[in-house]
């Protein structure tokens, strides 16, 4: 079974975000970078599918800077077979150029299934995987919480409003993984050691600029001091009002 997983190097969710001097990107110094958590589910699912099939290959592909090689190595340490880095210093915020580069890399690979995490925790665009599927004209199911694959076809489940949607599709296909799809394995010591020796190809990504230009990156407005809206049950309407119109969470 030939599987590809696309992964992204992102700042750790606990990282303190500082804006760089030019006001248009984060200051990456001292920031801990990790394999995008949603991508871990994708890697794990690919490994499980390969193990179930008994034979096959899991290729890990990432678009990113040189340091993304470390991210690919993490996936190799989990058990993937080889990696490809599409190198580019910075990724545009517009997902389309990245999707085009990944689609070009995947097109001739004869993959049965291509997996992504449903979104990257840095930009939360929730887009690249689905876009790649559209560019390759393949069936795509996003935010998959359960997946089963048999000879040439697959069934995926995903949460929708009011229930769980069950979707069937023929292979080759693209799925994007949601939390809970599986329990990603931690790399074992042996896996970490072997990862160093697995092939990792580096190519220039040659990304287009995309259709979004950064004007600025800034911190969100300070959290306003809280207020007591009133006393007792009579205060409830005022609270609802505030939640609806001020906080906009209702």
Which residues make beta-bridge pairs with 6?
61
Minimum distance from CB of 58 to another protein (Å)? 20
- Kindly state whether residue 171 participates in binding another protein, applying the rule CB under 8 A: no
Q: Report the alpha-carbon distance of residue 37 to residue 164 in Å, rounded.
A: 23
Binding mask 190-229 for another protein (x = CB under 8 A): x-xx--x-------------xxxxxxxxxxx--xx-xxxx
**Residue positions counted in the chain:** 250
List the one residue from 39, 40, 105, 122 that touches another protein (CB under 8 A): 122
Interface region with another protein, contact rule CB under 8 A, candidates 49-57, 80-88, 154-162, 199-207:
154-162
From the list 1-9, 12-20, 37-45, 80-88, the region that binds another protein by CB under 8 A is 12-20
Instruction: Give the Å distances, CA to CA, from 208 to 91, 95, 100, 106.
Output: 10, 11, 9, 18
CB nearer to another protein: pick between 48 and 57: 48
Q: Which of 42, 60, 127, 205 binds another protein (CB under 8 A)?
A: 127
Buried b (16+ CB within 10 A) or exposed e, 158-169: beeeeeeeebeb
Q: Structure tokens of 108?
A: 């001739």
Interaction of residue 152 with another protein, rule CB under 8 A:
no
CB of 70 to another protein, least distance (A): 9
* Stretch of 24-32, 45-53, 81-89, 105-113 contacting another protein, by CB under 8 A: 24-32
Q: Are strands 163-170 and 57-64 parallel, antiparallel or unpaired?
A: unpaired
Single out the residue of 16, 53, 148, 206 in contact with another protein (rule: CB under 8 A): 16
The nearest distance, CB 209 to another protein, in angstroms, is 8
Q: Which residue stretches of 119-197 are H helix? A: 128-136, 189-195
Cβ at position 204, least distance to another protein in Å: 22
Nearest residue (CB) to another protein, 89 versus 224? 224
> Smaller CB distance to another protein: residue 108 or 183?
183
- Going by C-alpha positions, the residue among 143, 137, 154, 91 that lies closest to residue 117 is 143
Alpha carbon distances (Å) from 139 to 37, 81, 156, 230: 24, 25, 12, 53
27-86 binders of another protein (CB under 8 A): 30, 32
Largest CA distance in the chain: 68
């Amino acid at each position: 079974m030939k599987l590809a997983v696309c992964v992204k190097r992102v700042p750790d969710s606990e990282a303190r975000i500082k804006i760089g001097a030019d006001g248009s990107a984060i200051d990456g110094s001292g920031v801990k970078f990790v394999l995008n958590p949603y991508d871990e589910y994708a890697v794990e699912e690919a490994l499980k599918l390969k193990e179930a099939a008994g034979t096959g290959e899991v290729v890990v592909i990432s678009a990113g800077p040189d340091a993304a090689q470390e991210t690919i190595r993490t996936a190799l340490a989990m058990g993937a077979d080889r990696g490809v880095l599409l190198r580019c210093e910075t990724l545009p915020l517009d997902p389309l150029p990245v999707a085009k580069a990944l689609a070009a890399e995947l097109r001739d690979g004869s993959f049965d299934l291509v997996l992504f995490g449903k979104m990257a925790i840095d930009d939360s665009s929730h887009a690249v995987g689905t876009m790649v599927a559209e560019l390759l004209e393949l069936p795509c199911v996003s935010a998959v919480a359960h997946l089963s694959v048999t000879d040439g076809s697959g069934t995926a489940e995903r949460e929708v409003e009011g229930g769980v949607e069950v979707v069937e599709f023929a292979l080759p296909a693209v799925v994007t993984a949601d939390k809970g799809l599986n329990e990603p394995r931690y790399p074992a010591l042996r896996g970490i050691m072997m990862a160093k020796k697995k092939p990792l190809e580096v190519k220039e990504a040659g990304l287009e600029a995309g259709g979004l230009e950064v004007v600025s990156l800034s911190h969100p407005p300070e959290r306003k001091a809280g207020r007591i809206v009133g006393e007792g049950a009579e205060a409830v309407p005022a609270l609802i009002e505030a939640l609806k119109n001020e906080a906009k969470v209702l």
